[in-house]
A and B are shown apart, each in its own frame.
Chain A
Amino acid sequence: MSRVKTILQQGKVKQAVIDKFRENAADIVGADNISSGEIDLLSTCRDYWPISSIWMLEGAVPALPQLVVWPNTTEEVSRILALANEKKIPVVPYGEGSGALGGAVPLQGGIMLDLKKMNRARKLDELNQLVTVECGMNGALYEEYLNQNGYTGGHFPQSLRCSTVGGWLACRAAGQFSTRYGKIEDIVVSLEAVLSDGTIFSGRSVPRAATGPRADLLMVGSEGVLGVITAADLRIWPLPEKRHFATYTFDNLADGLEAIRKFIRAGTRPAVVRLYDAQETGNHFPELGDKRPGLILLFEGAEPIITAEAGVVDQIVSGQGAVDAGPDFVVHWLETRFNVSAASRLLQKGAVLDTIEVTTNWHNAHSTYQAMQKAILSEEGTMMASGHWSHVYPEGAALYMTVVGFPGENKIGYYKSIWRAAMKACLDEGAAISHHHGIGLHRGAWMEEEHGRGLEVLKKVKAALDPNGIMNPGKLGLEEVQQWEK
């Protein structure tokens, strides 16, 4: 029996309706694949949203579902959704809970559709360089499967080991090697999904097609509000022949950003491009010190190509005043890049911390960083607001701010205040409010400012595809959530 409080629960489905659903759902997935056990509900009710962690320390959760269902096949997903739709029971698709914005919180109770049993690689198509993989496959195990067959998926989010392929697609994830391989929306060629009425549909894995808007790709970034992504055809690449590492430091961030803009413009595509401000350079690479911004680069592919690329990049960054610091810092980064242990330790010491990633063009890359840093630091309690750019494109780059504060008792108030300050600064500078963490629950409040009338279009799409509003209610800024205002 638990004494855990719920903070954001907007309601629940009548128990008699849930009981009837459970009876019918057992015929679909088997009784062993449904649970209303308290610990299963407590364990799937949250993701990696920092607010959930703060509440956990205080003996609370955001909201509780009423059932957890584990489908094994797309057909089972279809039948479960059709049944839930008929009974108007909310459904939240769930992968491995690494989302950072409360996207998996079951605000209205209902069903957590845990997709981890759909974890098979269905087909490896070497000729067409594609793999068909189910949504619940763990990221690290996906990459391991490809490596064993001589390929890489080219997608390495920091959450690689604790996220699923379906989760990547649902929130438009980015991997650390994205400058060469692209974000997940560049890697996916087609996908299979299920709508709230049980309709199963998929796209074709052809190399582009002028056949109108792609219904399947509409699901990319939909965060579970339009339906459930059940499988996808993803691009794969042969394991790289060689890697080349380089580190440079710059007098200032503007020089570093200009150097990156120029070598991308010149046509080079290092897999990893990460420019840290001086503070983060000092934190991650103490031997480089905390006075100069540091840039790490990782090239991979066929030796003649990466040798040429590294040469062009070296010439350009040198022209921008860079100092060559050698390859070892990249080795260190590779070894530590998935380590997020500081968060656990800081949270226990009373800190509030978060990462706020936005996406900027070149013209506002530096000014957005300056504005967001100033805004966050102006909030009382902030101890650190640092940033780096990664995921680089010809038109700009993603800016990733890290915030640590010690606000005392009012942690939630502080959390909201830094986000209000950061989002205002971001939007005032003309940057977009997210690059790859997505919207979830928390960032929904800024969707109207982000999209303008485009948000109305998204609402119409939602109403058409999910007329009963059962799919992950309260997310993506499509409905107001009274209990969670910005």
Chain B
Amino acid sequence: MGKVNMEELLNCALCPNICRCECPVLQVTGREAVAPAGKARLAAMLQKEQLDWDEEVLDAVSHCLSCRGCTIHCPFAELSLCDELINARLAAKAGGARLPQVEPYLANLKNYGSPYGQKNETAVCGEKGAEILYYAGCTSMANNPASIEAARSLFNKAGLSYQMIDEDCCGYPAEIWGDEELARRLAEENLRKMKESGASTMVTGCPECWLTFTGHYPEWGLELPLEIIDAPAYFLGLLEEGRLKPGRADMKKVSYHDPCIWARAAQKTAEPREIINKIPGLELHEASSSGEKTRCCGGGAMFQLSYPDTAAAIARRRLAELAEDAAIVTACPFCREGLLQENRQVLELVELLDRTC
């Protein structure tokens, strides 16, 4: 968790906002205050003490999905506005500002280690001490246990031992909601459990968790005790090794939605497509904005909890870009959750793969 980089923030604040066409929050709300440069201007004014923290200001700088859509056209290579806005939210907490709607979720994080409340203890499974640890993430745990079942099924079909632990939230929600202390506490608890598991490799299907482990933990001075690999790359490896053998799918066409973190923060756009292309007879439809130019589903930065109406509107905008006559496949529990509207069929990649193997 860093300090605000004033020079970069001002570069953004002084820009005419050439990224605004790719900011999903701005596009559905129309509010200048939540345009990328609008938020940068507010954050800069706060830093210069021209503005005081209050709920209204915090609400504006919290209107960022961390989708990195603004980076598509950004001329400032060093700028990470999403991170600068997280820094601003941390400063907001120090200034006494609170977002009331996230307080219950923060309380859940403190009490249960998940923003969704009581965790499902049956998640602890597999073979204790196995080399592979599967970290599902709290959103899959709470909202789509079927994706966890699919991942477990794939391990079994591949003949691999795995384990799942009593995982805590990675800490990301606490960080984006401005509670640095809680984020660190959750991270440390997770690291302790990972270490105790004895696993050497951790597979995660949640891009938010992956980014927190690989990007944020090192920034917080925390070292992972195991190697981490994302689920698309891992299961693609099993396909290439011949451990998994897909048959024909029970559908003809899928439209792949690139989750923004896999696409832009991790540049992982090839692996999911390679998996889909290995399924016989399955046609892949590309959205009009795909790969690194993907558009957000509305689920980034826990928006489905903090701003559900805006999240739903952003999802509807994205759904219009995904083929109507195809099932939607994605590789993120937040994206799945967001795109589950308008009677569309939405599957996580592991679910699709498990149905064919």
Q: Which residues of A contact B (CB under 8 A)?
A: 1-4, 35, 37-40, 42-44, 48, 53, 56-57, 59, 68, 70, 94, 96-98, 114, 116-117, 119, 136, 138-141, 144, 148, 159, 161-162, 338-341, 343-345, 347-348
Q: Is B125 an interface residue (CB 8 A)?
A: no
Q: Is the CB of A39 within 8 A of B73?
A: no
Residue of A nearest to B11 (CB): A344
Q: Which B residues are CB-close (under 8 A) to A114? A: 30-32
Q: A3-B51, A148-B288, A347-B14 are in contact. Are A39 and B33 (CB under 8 A)?
A: yes
Chain B residues with Cβ under 8 A from A70's Cβ?
30-31
Q: Within 8 Å of chain A (Cβ to Cβ): is B60?
A: yes
A4→B50 contact, CB < 8 A: yes
Interface: B13 (CB within 8 A) = yes
The answer to the question of B342 belonging to the interface, with a C-beta cut-off of 8 Å to chain A, is: no
User: Is A141 in contact with B31, judged by CB distance below 8 angstroms?
Assistant: no
A39→B56 contact, CB < 8 A: yes
Most chain A CB inside 10 Å of its own CB: which residue of B17, B30, B38, B42: B30
Tell me if B50 and A3 are in contact (CB < 8 A): yes
Chain B residue numbers with a CB within 8 Å of A344 are: 10-15, 76
Given A57-B10, A344-B13, 4 more A-B residue pairs with CB atoms under 8 Å apart are: A37-B33, A116-B30, A117-B30, A144-B288
Residues from 19 to 57 in B contacting A, C-beta threshold 8 Å? 19-21, 26-27, 30-33, 35, 38, 41-42, 45, 48-52, 54, 56-57
Q: Is the CB of A53 within 8 A of B14?
A: yes
Is the C-beta of B16 less than 8 angstroms from some C-beta in chain A?
yes
Kindly state whether residue B18 has any CB partner on chain A within 8 Å: yes
Cβ–Cβ contact B18 & A340, under 8 A: yes
When C-beta atoms are compared, the residue in chain A nearest to B34 turns out to be A43
Q: Is the CB of B52 within 8 A of A1?
A: yes
Which of A2, A39, A117, A339 has the most chain B CB within a 10 Å cutoff? A39
Contact A40 B14 (CB under 8 A): no
A1 vs B50: C-alpha distance when bound (angstroms): 8
Question: Are A340's CB and B15's CB within 8 A?
Answer: yes
Contact in complex: B20, A96 (CB < 8 Å): yes
Q: With contacts defined as CB atoms under 8 Å apart, how many contacts are there between chain A and chain B in the complex?
A: 116
Complex Cα distance, B322 from A299, in Å, reads 34
- CB of A338 within 8 A of CB of B18, answer yes
B321 to A, closest residue via Cβ: A148
List the 5 shortest-distance A-B pairs measured between CB atoms, nearest first.
A341-B75, A116-B30, A43-B32, A344-B14, A43-B33
B7 within 8 A of A: yes
B75 & A37 in contact (Cβ 8 Å cutoff): no
Contact bitstring B237-261, A, C-beta under 8 A = 1, else 0? 0000000000000000000000000
A43 in complex: contacting residue of B18, B31, B54, B76, CB < 8 Å: B31
Complexed CA–CA distance, A69 and B27 (Å):
16
A–B pairs, 13, beta carbons within 8 Å: A38-B56, A42-B33, A42-B51, A57-B14, A70-B31, A96-B17, A97-B16, A97-B17, A161-B20, A338-B18, A341-B11, A347-B14, A348-B14
Query: A1 near B7 (CB under 8 angstroms)?
Result: no
Which of B11, B27, B31 is within 8 Å of A40, CB to CB?
Answer: B31
B45's partner among A2, A48, A117 (CB-CB below 8 A) is A2
B10, closest chain A residue (CB): A348
CA distance A114 to B181 in the complex (A): 40
For B75, the chain A residues whose CB sits under 8 A away are 339-341
Contact A341 B32 (CB under 8 A): no
Cβ–Cβ < 8 Å partners of B16 in chain A:
48, 97-98, 159, 162, 340
Cα–Cα, bound, A44→B33 (Å): 8
Which of B11, B21, B26, B48 lies in contact with A140, CB distance below 8 A?
B21
